[in-house]
Amino acid sequence: MTDHLLQEDSKHSRYQLPESTQRPSKVAKIKGEDFTDDAAAEQDEGEEERKLVEKNMNPNPRLQRYLVAIEYIGTRFSGAQQQSNCRTVVGVLEEAFQKFIGHPVSIFCSSRTDAGVHALSNVCHVDVERISKRKPGEVLPPHEPSVVKRAVNHFLQKNDGDMMVIDVRCVPFDFHARYKAQERTYFYRLSTGKEPLSTFEKDRAWHVPEELDLLAMQKACKILVGRHDFSSFRAAACQAKSPIRNLDELTVTEVGSCPYFPTIREREQGNFAAEDSFSLSNRSKIDPCVSGSFNQLNVQNSDGEVSQGFGIRKRNRCFVVTARARSFLYHQVRLLVGVLKAVGTGDLTVPDVERILKVKTVTAASPMAPACGLYLGHVKYDLPSDA
């Protein structure tokens, strides 16, 4: 978000996170916009959209609006929104577009992710007027979306390569990436176990040394799903007019560690499956790969204990929290994950979650999860069929 930091409540001061994952202490307005985590309340969005359409009743017919989906590594940006003297998602993307078309553009994101938050697919829109470089002033037909994708990626890859355009399409001029979004899905990765994070997962997940009780976390999710006053899961700097949100989905799922490579047992299973007459009988002799045993080669050491073979990293268990809603409050997802983690470790009980929700104050919630494990996964639209 901004490079200012949100001061943490004194009640939580004993839960200090690493420097790179501290809560922001202050969130400033930039260009007059408020920084709710993703979007304003639904009723506010309708009014904003109406004003936007009225403002654009007579658009420049030479402009083409593109809807652009991007992925990026959040730890390399100071958030999504444009800021002075900071490297941001919007700033880097605008620079790539300017190099492509030869003049400045303004880009508007569907979700203004914080510093450190990744995106599997964030969506923005941009208006482009294609002007001839050979004959200045001559307006040419708009580029095809495939050309825009290829050209912008060319310049992005020359600029550290930590962002990529994954999809582009033409949309009507009144189509707004933020206000037309019907749903946003976030994922949060937790790696649990005594082993430190793999080099390949550094700044990509939250490492929790304790074991997590998956069943307890799933029970807690059921309490939080639905339409509630989420004041207890709303950072102090949130400027949304209403704390009411409808949380359509909140789930916890155990998944394979990342990056994932098949174990010896899995490779053997695949080989046996390719055989004809012996496939079923041979496969039954091999134990299925169980959760938490990814990449493990079990051998006995001199003490008779089962251990990994030399040079085989012991894999932590990995969990993904999925949160889906039309819009979220500022830091809502990270505060939700913080409470779910506390339930998983036994620091909170399932009834505690219900109490925290009802008390309607953020000081009752557990310290929020660090940004590095959060991913904006998908933004859903009702796209025009002729786009």
| Per-residue model confidence as pLDDT tens digits over 194-235 | 999 999 999 999 999 999 999 999 999 999 999 999 999 999
Average pLDDT rounded to a whole number, residues 245-273: 86
The catalytic site residues sit at 114
* Residue 29 predicted with pLDDT over 70: no
Q: How far apart are CA 268 and CA 286, in angstroms?
A: 8
Q: How far apart are CA 42 and CA 240, in angstroms?
A: 10
Residue 227 forms beta bridges with which residues? Answer: 246
* Residue 119 predicted with pLDDT over 70: yes
Place of tokens 């962002």: 163
> What does the pLDDT read at residue 56?
54
> What does the pLDDT read at residue 47?
58
Provide the terminal-to-terminal Cα distance of the chain, rounded to the nearest Å: 32
In a 3-state reduction of DSSP, which class is residue 311? Answer: coil
Torsion angle, CA of 200/206/207/213, rounded to 10 degrees? -130
Tens digits of residue pLDDT in 146-174: 999 999 999 999 878 899 999 999 999 99
Q: Is there a contact between 61 and 92 (Cβ–Cβ < 8 Å)?
A: no
* Residue 87 predicted with pLDDT over 50: yes
Q: What tokens appear for 136 in the block?
A: 């200045």
> What does the pLDDT read at residue 333?
97
> What does the pLDDT read at residue 362?
92
* Residue 5 predicted with pLDDT over 80: no
Cα separation values, 233 from 331, 334, 360, Å: 7, 8, 8
> What does the pLDDT read at residue 235?
92
